[in-house]
Amino acid sequence: MTTFDETILDNLEIELPSWAFGNSGTRFKVFGTPGTPRTIHEKIADAAKVNELTGLAPSVALHIPWDTVDDYRVLGSYAADLGVRLGTINSNTFQDDDYKFGSLTHTDKTVRQKAIDHHLACIDVMGQTGSRDLKIWLADGTNYPGQGDIRGRQDRLAESLATIYQHIGDDQRLVLEYKFFEPATYVTDVPDWGTSYAHASALGERAMVCLDTGHHAPGTNIEFIVAQLLRLGKLGSFDFNSRFYADDDLIVGAADPFQLFRILFEVVRGGGLDTGSPVALMLDQCHNVEEKIPGQIRSVLNVQEMTARALLVDTDALTAAQEAGDVLGANAIMMDAFYTDVRPMLAQRRESRGLPADPMAAFATSGYAERIADERVGGTQSSWGA
Ligand code: LRH
Ligand code: MN
Ligand code: MN
């Protein structure tokens, strides 16, 4: 077997979303689980457990206002004591009545200003947490032809983003996430990578694109987008998850492991995992019916496994086959790497680094799930959106 690029695997870091530890569901029912966190502190503790057992997840993303606290510096030290740090700050302009017809794109200047101010407050939080990234995903859009002026909405969006960007510090970044539908059903104001790229480019160097793997039309060649954004130097981050139908937010690599492999191959090919690369890897998932902490453990392991497989591609042989017009030979090189079971090798690597060979089994026997179920009684379990 070809050997791993140890540096890339050693440096692999996948940020966990605080909201993955809360209860979530469909619009039909949210099922509760014993031990579900009631506070951001408990979510961070669960995330720290994932990191402790995998060594892969040293940071936790916050969503504001879901994870609002009085003092973010104190929260940062609490996280540090548990061995993790606070990461990306996600803004939220999708749960307020004022934003019914848009936030940064709204025709009413007062509403736009309110949305801008929310982002400035998020930047303030970043100053306290030491976070690098402000991630913006907008629910802005329209449902019916004629409901809004498509062009005017883009102009207002550009203006609002420019105002926010002025406040982004030298060591900070604005990452703009796109999604082709939902909740808007006709026009989404940031529907695709091209729109996100156009706005990020207009803003400047510290504005980048966030690619959420669940935010594309079925059949979209996501690895092409990855290759193109890396080529353009604008791939800022990933929100990893997987989907069968829509924005399902399932465990990354669960629905289509081969797609995850192809994406990670392009990330590696484009230098996205090299030391100093601007590409941040994050999960953006919900666990509706499965256990949440093991769900997050499984997810980071899936990313690690597919990264290892992507690193196994014999790129010299691949280039030779491509240049010789050897279609099937080239394809076989990709498939050989994809079909290689890297799990025993990764288990060995973990053990040699003082981690459990099997983090899923280690969690199951750790007693942590039982302990939090006993301890976390009273109060309100947190749920997606709170
Ligand atoms: C939107 C999205 C975005 C939000 C998160 C909760 O679908 O992917 O990243 O912040 O879900
Ligand atoms: Mn997302
Ligand atoms: Mn999403």
* Residue 373 maps to a domain: no
What's the 349 CA to ligand 3 centre distance in angstroms?
33
Q: What is the pLDDT of residues 40-89, one digit of tens each?
A: 999 999 999 999 999 999 999 999 999 999 999 999 999 999 999 999 99
Residue 169 has φ and ψ, to the nearest 5°, of -70, 170
* Residue 1 maps to a domain: no
* Residue 378 maps to a domain: no
What's the 342 CA to ligand 1 centre distance in angstroms?
31
Measured from the alpha carbon of residue 24, the closest ligand is 1
* Residue 209 maps to a domain: yes
What's the 207 CA to ligand 3 centre distance in angstroms?
20
Query: Do 316 and 306 lie in a common domain?
Result: no
- CB burial of 106-124 (b: ≥16 within 10 Å; e: otherwise) equals beeeebbebbbebbeebbe
- Around ion ligand 2, residues with a beta carbon closer than 5 Å are 212, 239, 284
- Per DSSP, helices labelled H in 204-273 are 222-231, 257-269
For a mutational test of ligand 1's pocket, the pick from 137, 215, 286, i.e. the residue with the most ligand atoms closer than 8 A to its C-beta, is 137
**Residue 210 CA: which ligand 1 atom is closest?**
9
Query: Do 73 and 91 lie in a common domain?
Result: yes
- CB burial of 258-297 (b: ≥16 within 10 Å; e: otherwise) equals ebbbbbbbbbbbbebbeeeebbbbbbbbbbbeebbbbbbb
Query: Do 287 and 139 lie in a common domain?
Result: yes
Residue 4 has what pLDDT? 65
Domain that holds residue 357: 312-366
Residue 230 has what pLDDT? 98
Measured from the alpha carbon of residue 20, the closest ligand is 1
Q: What whole-number distance in Å separates Cα of residue 188 and Cα of residue 204?
A: 23
Domain end point (choices 291, 310, 329): 310
For a mutational test of ligand 1's pocket, the pick from 177, 188, 250, 288, i.e. the residue with the most ligand atoms closer than 8 A to its C-beta, is 177
Write the CATH number for 52.
Answer: 3.20.20.150
Query: Do 306 and 316 lie in a common domain?
Result: no
Query: Do 180 and 319 lie in a common domain?
Result: no
* Residue 386 maps to a domain: no
**Residue 19 CA: which ligand 1 atom is closest?**
6
Measured from the alpha carbon of residue 215, the closest ligand is 3
Q: Return the sign of the alpha-carbon dihedral for residues 86, 89, 90, 92.
A: positive
Query: Do 306 and 319 lie in a common domain?
Result: no
Pick the residue whose CA is nearest to atom 3 on ligand 1: 137
Query: Do 169 and 248 lie in a common domain?
Result: yes
Distance of CA 372 to the CA centre of its chain: 26
**Residue 247 CA: which ligand 1 atom is closest?**
7
* Residue 385 maps to a domain: no
Query: Do 357 and 276 lie in a common domain?
Result: no
Work out how many domains the chain is built from and give that number.
2
Pick the residue whose CA is nearest to atom 1 on ligand 1: 137
Query: Do 35 and 173 lie in a common domain?
Result: yes
Q: What is the ipTM of this complex?
A: 0.99
* Residue 255 maps to a domain: yes
* Residue 270 maps to a domain: yes
DSSP secondary structure code for residue 250 in this structure: B
Residue 139 has what pLDDT? 98
Residue 272 in tokens:
């996205």
What's the 317 CA to ligand 2 centre distance in angstroms?
36
DSSP secondary structure code for residue 191 in this structure: -
The pLDDT tens digits along the chain (386 residues) read 556 678 999 999 999 999 999 999 988 999 999 999 999 999 999 999 999 999 999 999 999 999 999 999 999 999 999 999 999 999 999 999 999 999 999 999 999 999 999 999 999 999 999 999 999 999 999 999 999 999 999 999 999 999 999 999 999 999 999 999 999 999 999 999 999 999 999 999 999 999 999 999 999 999 999 999 999 999 999 999 999 999 999 999 999 999 999 999 999 999 999 999 999 999 999 999 999 999 999 999 999 999 999 999 999 999 999 999 999 999 999 999 999 999 999 999 999 999 999 999 999 999 999 999 999 999 899 988 76
What's the 108 CA to ligand 3 centre distance in angstroms?
27
Measured from the alpha carbon of residue 240, the closest ligand is 2
At what angle are helices 257-269 and 222-231 packed, to 10 degrees? 10
Query: Do 303 and 342 lie in a common domain?
Result: no
Query: Do 341 and 291 lie in a common domain?
Result: no
Query: Do 188 and 329 lie in a common domain?
Result: no
Give whole-number Cα distances, 27 to 24, 143, 177, 251, 384, in Å: 9, 19, 23, 19, 12
Residue 385 has what pLDDT? 74
Residue 197 in tokens:
């790229």
| Residue among 12, 112, 73, 39 nearest 383 (CA) | 39
Domain end point (choices 290, 310, 330): 310
Residues lining ligand 1, Cβ inside 6 A? 90, 137, 177, 179, 212, 239, 247, 284
What's the 123 CA to ligand 2 centre distance in angstroms?
19
